[in-house]
Amino acid sequence: MAINRAAAFDFAKRFWNRPCDDGIFWTADAPVSIAQKRRELRAPESDGWEALFIPNGEGEDAVFQKPSGDTKLIQGWKGLDDCAHYLCRCLHAEGIVVNRVSVGELVRDQQARSDTKTLGEKVAKDKGQLIVNSGVFKKGDMIGYFEKKGVYGHSAMYAGKLNDDDSDVGRITCHSVCRFPGLSDNSDNSWDLGQDYRYTFIHFSNDDPHAASSLTGVLTGWWRVEFSGKTKFYFIHKDGRAHSTRRAPTEKTPELHVGDDSAYSFEGPDGITFTWRLSGDVEVWSKGEDDREFDIQLNDDDSTGKATKLF
């Protein structure tokens, strides 16, 4: 099924600081109906009362507000919890039907889809930045925020960079607290939120380019990969998935389906990018002297290695 990232971005820009198109927002316990609150608080839209989320110094409040600045409180910051619902509505605009209010359930549901690729799971901030900078992670993809206490506490849609270079770490759009690149004035509007989370990056792959058949044939099979005197072995499948192990294979060794880590590969102008799910490592492979050798740059720094086809 085709997805529409531009539609998701446009939806987010319209609703980033207000309740979504379905007329509700969520607290930790239950949905809040805007129509019902209009009646209770005598705040008809015809009188200029607009439903908004506004900063309150601690977080934000859900209010009805007039152009004059008059406000009526709908819900205070304590208990406001609309991030998963907002992300679901953004994804619905993108063409992905999902309805979850629990962030943990939302993450698990999206990881289980056949059209998603988890580029990094509960990885540290520095590895997350590598994934963002890789070019594989796109506007309209999802980030789950895993807390030290062992649960997913927040979710957001990746919204790209305002500056098209690495000086911009990348932005998100979300609710609770509301953010959108270039519109929100939060100091923590970078994708990592400036906090001590672990991060899960979920990429919707419907619009990924298909790898060339010649490249598929070249990559499929066992590889010896060497970095700084350390050796690992990768098995790369026909569909571009890869698994790693420290155990050297033989010609009778079968395909590797469960290893120390797993990755997806993506073909781009600079070579083949591998994103490793558990470590968060990002490798870029470029052809060496022939199709059985590739030079590797690890994690966008000075670390280099070599991959050699075994069989």
How many CB atoms sit inside 10 A of residue 203's CB? 23
Q: Looking at the domain 213-309, which fold is it?
A: Lipocalin (2.40.128)
Answer positive or negative: Cα dihedral of 98, 103, 109, 115: positive
Which residues on neighbouring strands pair with residue 75, listed in sequence order? 62
Give the whole-angstrom CA distance, residue 14 versus residue 21.
10
List the Cα angle 155/160/164 in 5-degree steps: 155
Nearest to 5 by CA among 109, 180, 159, 143: 159
CA distances from 148 to 2, 184, 191 (A): 36, 27, 18
Q: Which residues contact 217 (CB under 8 A, 6 or more apart)?
A: none
Q: How much is the pLDDT for 170?
A: 94
Give the whole-angstrom CA distance, residue 97 versus residue 91.
7
In sequence order, what DSSP letters do the residues of 208-252 get, joined into one string? PPPPPHHHHHHHSEEEEEEETTEEEEEEE-TTSEEEEESSPP-TT
Residue 42 CB-density burial (10 A; 0-12 exposed, 13-18 middle, 19+ buried): exposed
Q: What is the pTM of this model?
A: 0.94
Give the whole-angstrom CA distance, residue 61 versus residue 78.
9
Specify the DSSP element, H or E, that contains 5.
Answer: helix 5-15
Per-residue pLDDT of the chain (311 residues; tens, 9 = 90+): 689 999 999 999 999 999 999 999 999 989 999 999 999 999 999 999 999 999 998 899 999 999 999 999 999 999 999 999 999 999 999 999 999 999 999 999 999 999 999 999 999 999 999 999 999 999 999 999 999 999 999 999 999 998 766 678 999 999 999 999 989 876 556 999 988 899 999 999 999 886 555 566 789 999 999 998 899 999 999 989 999 999 999 999 999 999 999 999 998 887 899 999 999 999 999 988 888 999 999 997 778 999 999 99
- What are the residue ranges spanned by the domains of the chain? 5-75, 97-204, 213-309
CA distances from 298 to 222, 228, 264 (A): 19, 11, 15
